[in-house]
Amino acid sequence: MEKKADIAVIGLAVMGQNLILNMNDHGYTVVAFNRTVSKVDDFLKNAAKGTNVIGAHSIEEMVSLLKVPRKVMLMVKAGDPVDAEIQKLLKYLSPGDCIIDGGNSHFTDTIRRTKYLEENGILYIGAGVSGGEEGARRGPSIMPGGNEKAWPLVKDIFKAISAKTPDGVPCCDWVGSDGAGHYVKMAHNAIEYGDIQVICEAYHLMKLGLGLSADQMHQIFAEWNTTELNSYLIEITRDILAYKDDDGEPLVEKILDKAGQKGTGKWFIVNSLDLGIPVTLISESVYARCLSALKEERIKASEVLKGPVTHFKGDAKGLVEDIRKALLASKIISYTQGFMCLHEAAKEYGWDLDYGNIALLWRNGCIIRSAFLDKIKNAYEKNPKLSNLLLDDYFREVIDDCQASWRKVIMTAVELGIPMPSFSSALAFFDGYRCAKLPVNLLQAMRDYFGAHTYKRIDAPADQVFHTNWTGRGGDVASGTYTV
C-alpha cells in the first residue's frame, strides 16, 4: 500500500514551498497541492526534486493521500482565498481532521473560521508564521492559535520545523484560543514597523545632522550590534550600509525614499484605537510611510518651505552615543505599547496569553529577533502579573540611563529640522505615562461648557457627575448620551 503522508500544504508560492522543504528535512512526508496545478509538477521537478514530497493534482487526491486525522495547511494569499479553500476542503474532510491557516490572516477572520469549522466538526488553527522565505526554509517563528484540540495533532511538526532560541527552545508554542495566534503575529509585524522606523530615524540624524558617510554608519551599527541593541534588524542595517553599487557608491543612497503600507501595521493601529491603547510609536511608523509616499508633493514643498539653517556644532561622537541610547529608549516604548495592546486584547477577546512566552516566540526565526526579547521574557518570568514593561526594574533602569540622551537627541533634531516622529512620540508617551495629572481636566471643562457632557471632581466620589452653567446662559440639563 502507498505510504500515507503526515500533512498536506496547499499553496506553492514562496512560503508554502519552503515550509514543505523544511518539513521534508525533518522527516515528515508532505503532500503538495496548488490551485494552479501545473505549479505542483514544476515544484516536484525543481525545488522538491529528490525529496519525499508527494504531489497531488486535486484536493480529493490530496486528502486521499493523508494519514487520519488529516492535517491540511493553507499557505495561500490571505482573505477570500482562505475561505475558498476551506469550502473546497469541507467536501472531503471528516470530523476530527484539522485545517491550519499559516498565512497573514486578520485575527477576526480566524475567530470566525474557528467557530464555523468547529460547528462542522473540523479543528482549526490560525498560525502566524514569521521569517519570510529564509525563515520558512530554515526555521520560522510560529504563533499558533485556534481550537486547542488541534494542537496535539501538529505540535511535533511545528516545533520541529520552527526556529530555536540560542538555548535550543522552539520558537513555537500554543498562543491561545481562536484568533490569538494571528493577533500575536499582527503585533509582531506592527512592532517590526516600529523597530524599522527608529533605525531609519537614527540613520537620518547621523546622515543629515552629523554628515556621516554610509561607511562610517556601517561601523557605528556594527558597534551597536554588540550592545543591548543586538538584533537582526541592526545587523542587516550594518550590512546594507556597507553594500556598494556597481560604481562603488553605497547602494542605499540610490534607493527611492518612498514606502507603502498595506497590512498588519494598519490593522494593529485600527485595533489599538478600538481597544483604546496608545500605540503612538507604531502609529507614527505607519504614518511615516504614508508621508514618504507623498514623494512628488515633498519635492515641491522642499523648494518653498524653509527650515532652520543651522549645523550641529557639538560633540559628534557624544551625539552618536546619545542616538544609540535614544534608539534603545524608543524601542522600549514601542514594545511597552505593543504589550499593552496584547494585555488589552487578551481581556477583550478572552485569551489567556503568556507574555513571556510570546517574547520567546519572537526570539529567533522572525524579523524582530533580538537579544532584547530575553529581557522581556525575564520581566514576565519575574512577575507574571506585570502590568506594564516600564514598571519592570530592568527597563526602568535602562530608561533612567537613556533619558538625558533621548531628550538631547530630540532637541538636536528639532533644532536642525530633522523629523524624528517615532523618537519624539515615544518620549511624549513616556512623559504622559509618568504624569499623575494630565491637562484633561481642562478638556473635560470644555466639553461640559460646549456640550453639557458633565465632569467628575477630584474632591467628590468617583460615581458622582457635575454640570456647570459656565456662562449663566445655558440650562441645567446635562447630556446623557453624547460622548466625544
Catalytic residues, by residue number, are 185, 192
Per CB under 6 A, 11 contacts ligand NBP: yes
Write out the three cell numbers for 214.
554610509
Per CB under 6 A, 132 contacts ligand NBP: yes
d(CA 419, CA 94): 57
Using the rule CB under 6 A, which residue among 104, 110, 231, 271 binds ligand NBP? 104
Nearest CA to 136 among 101, 102, 98, 180? 102
Per CB under 6 A, 36 contacts ligand NBP: yes
d(CA 285, CA 293): 13
Q: How far is CA 351 from CA 50, 67, 230, 275, 342, in A?
A: 43, 31, 31, 14, 10
Report, in Å, the least distance between residue 248 CB and ligand NBP. 31
d(CA 323, CA 409): 6
- Asked if residue 333 lies in contact with residue 429, where contact means CB atoms within 8 angstroms, the answer is yes
Report, in Å, the least distance between residue 230 CB and ligand NBP. 23
Per CB under 6 A, 81 contacts ligand NBP: yes
Please identify, using beta-carbon distances, which residue of 30 and 75 lies nearer to ligand NBP.
Answer: 75
Per CB under 6 A, 12 contacts ligand NBP: yes
Per CB under 6 A, 16 contacts ligand NBP: yes
Question: Contacts with ligand NBP: how many residues (CB under 6 A)?
Answer: 23
Candidate segments 125-133, 147-155, 336-344, 442-450, binder of ligand NBP by CB under 6 A: 125-133
DSSP state of 32: E
Which residue sits closest to ligand NBP, CB atoms considered?
A: 103
Please identify, using beta-carbon distances, which residue of 158 and 406 lies nearer to ligand NBP.
Answer: 158
Per CB under 6 A, 57 contacts ligand NBP: no
Please identify, using beta-carbon distances, which residue of 76 and 413 lies nearer to ligand NBP.
Answer: 76
Strands 7-10 and 30-33: parallel
Please identify, using beta-carbon distances, which residue of 78 and 478 lies nearer to ligand NBP.
Answer: 78
* Strand ranges of the sheet holding 54-55, from the earlier edge strand across to the other edge: 54-55, 30-33, 7-10, 71-74, 98-101, 123-130, 141-146, 176-177
Using the rule CB under 6 A, which residue among 84, 414, 438, 440 binds ligand NBP? 84
Work out the angle at residue 206's Cα, subtended by the Cα atoms of residues 200 and 210, and round it to the nearest 5 degrees.
160
Binding residues for ligand NBP, rule: CB under 6 A, are: 11-16, 34-36, 39, 75-78, 81, 84-85, 103-104, 129-130, 132-133
